[in-house]
Amino acid sequence: MDTLYRGLKVTFLGEKQFVNYNGTKSSLHDVLCGIPQGSILGPLLFLIYINDLPCALKFTRTILFADDTNLYASHNNLNTLWNEINKDIESLVTWFKANKLSLNTGKTFYMVFSTKCTTHDLNIVINGNNIERKESNEFLDIYLDQNLRWDRHIMHCKAKLTSSIYAMNSAKRFLSSKQLLLLYNSLITSYLNYGLSLWGSAPAAKIHLNKLVVLQKKAMRIIAHAPYNAHTNDLFLRFRLLKLYDIYTKPKWAHTCLRNYIPYPLNHSFVITARIVTCTHTIRVMLEIYRHQC
């Protein structure tokens, strides 16, 4: 620990800074807090620095991802939820001041999640500034909407797939099926797989999922250099790829088999070749999520 401390001390202590404005430079001053921007250890030290933030909160839970922090809470009563959130926001502001950090209220907003349409605003205020309410927002490259319909995210995937298919179609004259398959796996598969267990199960999203199915079939015809109206069932088997609905349903079926939830007469119909231990979480509808960025 002494060696680590001395290394950090030599690296970050003793730094000087000055201001250059229109060719006029100020005198040098010591850097009393913070680290140089772009340093290799910067992200790690920042994570260590904010690691105790959840301990300052009583009613809300946190999702920390790099410099993106999300607070969320749920309650059956909207007024109680509002009181709990505002109490934790006061604690949050105090924590920021104690750690010499600033909260950018311009990039801070909140969302109210419910399966029913709600027009109730929570009137959240931070440092005298009213926080904007949003109906949808991107979270870790997944678009969340307040009613959890997922249509916004599916349309986002549709736009990405359309762009990727255009690139594949332009290059198919120069590439073999094997090379086009590599493009498919790198440009399309990631969008179809990421978060599918969430947005693929929404009843309201079925009509939008069909649009992705059409695009996936179009990509398969491009890979196989097949006509635009060719059937794709044999093409999926030939290239050993799963259809969109199979990508969603087969992992669910595998999970059912691993957990022994299938009827007893079917237990001996399947052989488990590999057992993967996973940590499953029950996802519940949150009534409120509040996010801030520095």
* Cα–Cα distance, 184 to 74 (Å, whole number): 40
Q: What is the pLDDT of residues 219-240, one digit of tens each?
A: 999 998 988 888 888 888 888 8
Question: Which band of pLDDT confidence, cut at 50, 70 and 90, is reported for residue 289?
Answer: very low
Which pLDDT belongs to residue 218?
92
Q: Is the pLDDT of residue 284 over 60?
A: no
CA atoms within 13 A on the CB side of 156: 17
* Cα–Cα distance, 53 to 70 (Å, whole number): 11
Lowest mean pLDDT among 76-85, 120-129, 153-162: 120-129
Q: Is the pLDDT of residue 245 over 90?
A: no
* Cα–Cα distance, 58 to 55 (Å, whole number): 8
- Alpha carbon distance, N-terminus to C-terminus of the chain: 30
Which pLDDT belongs to residue 163?
92
10: its two tokens: 């030599």
Most confident residue range from 34-38, 66-70, 89-93, 121-125: 89-93
Which pLDDT belongs to residue 99?
86
Q: How would you classify the pairing of strands 129-130 and 125-126?
A: antiparallel
Could you please report the per-residue DSSP string of the chain?
Answer: -HHHHHHHHHHHTT-EE--EETTEEPPPEE--S---TT-TTHHHHHHHHTTTGGGG-SS-EEEEETTEEEEEE--S-HHHHHHHHHHHHHHHHHHHHHTT---EEEEEEEE---SS--------EETTEEPEE-SEEEETTEEEETT---HHHHHHHHHHHHHHHHHHHHHTTTS-HHHHHHHHHHHTHHHHHTTHHHHTS-GGGHHHHHHHHHHHHHHHHHHTT--TT---HHHHHHTT---HHHHHHHHHHHHHHHTT-S-GGGGGG---S-------------SEEEEEE-
Q: Is the whole model's pTM more than 0.95, yes or no?
A: no
